Amino acid sequence: LVTLTIDGQQVQVPPGTTILAAARQAGIRIPTLCYLEELNVIGACRLCLVQVEGARALVAACVTRAAEGMVVHTSTPAVRHARRLNLELIMSNHPRECLTCLRNTSCELQQLAAELGVGEIRFQGEVSPYEVDDSSPAIIRDPRKCVLCRRCVAVCEKVQGVSAIAVQERGFDTVVAPAFLAPLGEVNCVNCGQCSLVCPTAAIHERDETEKVWAALADPQMHVVVQTAPAVRVSIGEMFGLEPGSIVTGKLVAALRRLGFDKVFDTDFTADLTIMEEGSELIHRLQNGGRLPLITSCSPGWIKFIEHFYPSLLPNLSTCKSPQQMFGALAKTYYAQKEGIDPARIFVVSIMPCTAKKYEAGRPEMNSSGYRDVDVVLTTRELGRMLKQAGIDFDSLPEEDYDAPLGISTGAGVIFGATGGVMEAALRTAYELVTGATLVSLDFEEVRGLEGVKEASVNLAGTELKVAVAHGLGNARKVLDAVVNREREYHFIEIMCCPGGCIGGGGQPLPVDNEIRARRIAAIYQADRQMPLRKSHENPAVQALYREFLGEPLGRRSHELLHTHYTP
């Protein structure tokens, strides 16, 4: 171990540890802006400057390793002066729009200004010549607010393996943008929004569509229904100061009713339905020599990724639309007929943890009801803002139940929100349908957790079903390359675009790190255990849907409404 002294405290750390990590271990806070653990360690912003005795100048704590006998001071007048000056320089060309900014009160630059005691901005720098890029259906780039920390670039490249954005130009013209300054909506960006989770300011953020929903809710002609994604029930509480991993399903339902939605439904219902369709598709492909491995198709960032980067594997994708889109198609057909409502008057809103769902809802094939199946997608963050605007005191709301029939679901639908959940839900159903036996334990632990790639093997009536699960597109690449290079053989693969699955989606409350992901995942499995039914094929509302409307899984109506094809 290396022993050093920080602000008079002796600290022992393994060799190679940075001063920043050593200080954190000792409970000493050093401010950072560009730093992102393991992903972006570049010492660029110079806000983590510290004084090391014997050194000629102040050093950046995030990139300087602790050394034996080192004596560090983190709060001398020289350190405080230098940090404040550097922050003032960063702010010198930053728009002074804090009061009206989307990130007002959640902006790291704003928080640092308060923490470092910046009382005035003495310098007026050259303002960015680049305009707002609103070409993407999901993500807005505002280069004026960019502090060039490069955290978004690091996540896009190192976690997602996409590299849709990079640092372009030089000097005062430096900008984070797609190559050749192309609009984001025209490049290989998959709309995952992981950049928006790490952006310290509002330089990259979700497209805010709350006004469209306010307008629909205020229109007496419209019958406005809402569906909530599995992951939102374990994260929206964070917008109101609750601990990550708080299960707030009932309060979420109550809050949506207070906003004025006519019916509050659940994407978990169509998650169960997806298992019926996708499970049947898997069994059909296994028994009829179909293309394997079958790969899940419910994560729209992943769909755009495979279209750009692995088009030869498109025939492996399940033809199932995502639960969000199945819901929209059924709301404007089955539900409309059942309730005697003109589908032209039905307005479908989704609450999703995901920015890519905005893009998915606008894809041209997503109108099989004869209308746009899902009218507006709001992220968890947008819903949080709407609830605040409506003055709803979230934490004091009572717990209410979803409406029937599109709000009835099982624990298998809930676990879709965590990496491995779709696979586990499919295994619960496929096992019982194929073997005719009742599962002794419903918990397929091998496919749970934050390991990047998980593998398991399940005996299905004598056949060893080999499965893999990947979350985060960098991990997806590893699995796909192994399949393409014939290094691995699988029958079924689950891929979710975002690290941790949807609970770590790009539209979730800030901040997100692995500890927060783990707490949300634990809550998802707890919610599953609390459900009276935990297998999709036992969902009585799904059974009724087949009886009354669809006929059978993979039947004619299912194909029309619930399935699609992806072609290179």
Q: Which residues bind ligand HC0 (CB under 6 A)?
A: 229-231, 267, 271, 298-299, 322-324, 352-354, 357, 416-417, 422, 496, 501-502, 505
Q: With CA atoms as reference, report the closest residue to 452 among 423, 474, 422.
A: 474
> Of 318, 350, 369, 409, which is the active-site residue?
318
Tell the smallest beta-carbon distance from residue 395 to ligand HC0 (Å).
Answer: 22
| Alpha helix segments (H runs only) across 288-379 | 300-309, 323-330, 336-339, 356-361
Q: Tell me if residue 421 falls in helix, strand or coil.
A: helix
Q: Check if 365 is active-site.
A: yes
Tell the smallest beta-carbon distance from residue 496 to ligand HC0 (Å).
Answer: 6
Nearer to ligand HC0, 32 or 296 (CB): 296
Tell the smallest beta-carbon distance from residue 142 to ligand HC0 (Å).
Answer: 24
Residue 438's identity, in one-letter code, is: T
> Of 238, 281, 424, 494, which is the active-site residue?
281
Distance CA 344, CA 559 (A): 22
> Going by DSSP bridges, is the β-strand pair 139-141/2-6 parallel, antiparallel, or unpaired?
unpaired
Distance CA 368, CA 460 (A): 34
3-state secondary structure 64-79: CECCCCCEEECCCHHH
Tell the smallest beta-carbon distance from residue 503 to ligand HC0 (Å).
Answer: 7
Tell the smallest beta-carbon distance from residue 261 to ligand HC0 (Å).
Answer: 17
- Asked if residues 564 and 303 have their Cβ atoms less than 8 Å apart, the reply is no
Distance CA 216, CA 449 (A): 39
According to DSSP, residue 397 is labeled: P
Burial of 88 (0-12, 13-18, 19+ CB in 10 A): middle
- Asked if residues 395 and 242 have their Cβ atoms less than 8 Å apart, the reply is yes
Nearer to ligand HC0, 324 or 333 (CB): 324
| Alpha helix segments (H runs only) across 317-403 | 323-330, 336-339, 356-361, 380-389
What are phi and psi for residue 485, nearest 5 degrees?
-85, 5
Q: Which helix (H) or strand (E) holds 81?
A: helix 77-91
Distance CA 295, CA 116 (A): 50
Nearer to ligand HC0, 154 or 192 (CB): 192
Nearer to ligand HC0, 357 or 381 (CB): 357
Distance CA 248, CA 232 (A): 9
Q: Check if 497 is active-site.
A: no
Q: 486: number of CA atoms within 13 Å, CB side?
A: 0
Q: Check if 131 is active-site.
A: no
Q: Check if 498 is active-site.
A: no
Q: Check if 195 is active-site.
A: no
> Of 238, 277, 278, 382, which is the active-site residue?
278
- N residues, the chain: 568
Tell the smallest beta-carbon distance from residue 419 to ligand HC0 (Å).
Answer: 9
Distance CA 518, CA 228 (A): 21
Which residue in this structure is represented by tokens 């939102």? 232
Nearer to ligand HC0, 201 or 235 (CB): 235
> Of 131, 169, 211, 365, which is the active-site residue?
365
Nearer to ligand HC0, 51 or 296 (CB): 296
With CB atoms as reference, the residue minimizing the distance to ligand HC0 is 502
Angle between helices 249-259 and 380-389 (to 10 degrees): 60
Q: With CA atoms as reference, report the closest residue to 375 among 405, 344, 337, 407.
A: 344
Tell the smallest beta-carbon distance from residue 498 to ligand HC0 (Å).
Answer: 8
Q: Check if 115 is active-site.
A: no
Q: Check if 280 is active-site.
A: no
Tell the smallest beta-carbon distance from residue 507 to ligand HC0 (Å).
Answer: 8
Tell the smallest beta-carbon distance from residue 277 to ligand HC0 (Å).
Answer: 11
> Of 263, 357, 454, 535, which is the active-site residue?
357
Q: With CA atoms as reference, report the closest residue to 325 among 371, 264, 256, 380.
A: 371
> Going by DSSP bridges, is the β-strand pair 346-352/376-379 parallel, antiparallel, or unpaired?
parallel
Tell the smallest beta-carbon distance from residue 524 to ligand HC0 (Å).
Answer: 9
Q: Tell me if residue 465 falls in helix, strand or coil.
A: strand
Cis peptide before 511 (omega within 30 of 0): yes
> Of 360, 382, 446, 494, which is the active-site residue?
360
Nearer to ligand HC0, 341 or 522 (CB): 522
Nearer to ligand HC0, 259 or 496 (CB): 496
Q: Check if 281 is active-site.
A: yes
Nearer to ligand HC0, 143 or 420 (CB): 420
Facing residues of 494 across strands?
469
Nearer to ligand HC0, 143 or 244 (CB): 244
> Of 502, 535, 536, 558, which is the active-site residue?
502
Facing residues of 266 across strands?
228
- Give catalytic residue positions: 278, 281, 298, 318, 357, 360, 365, 502
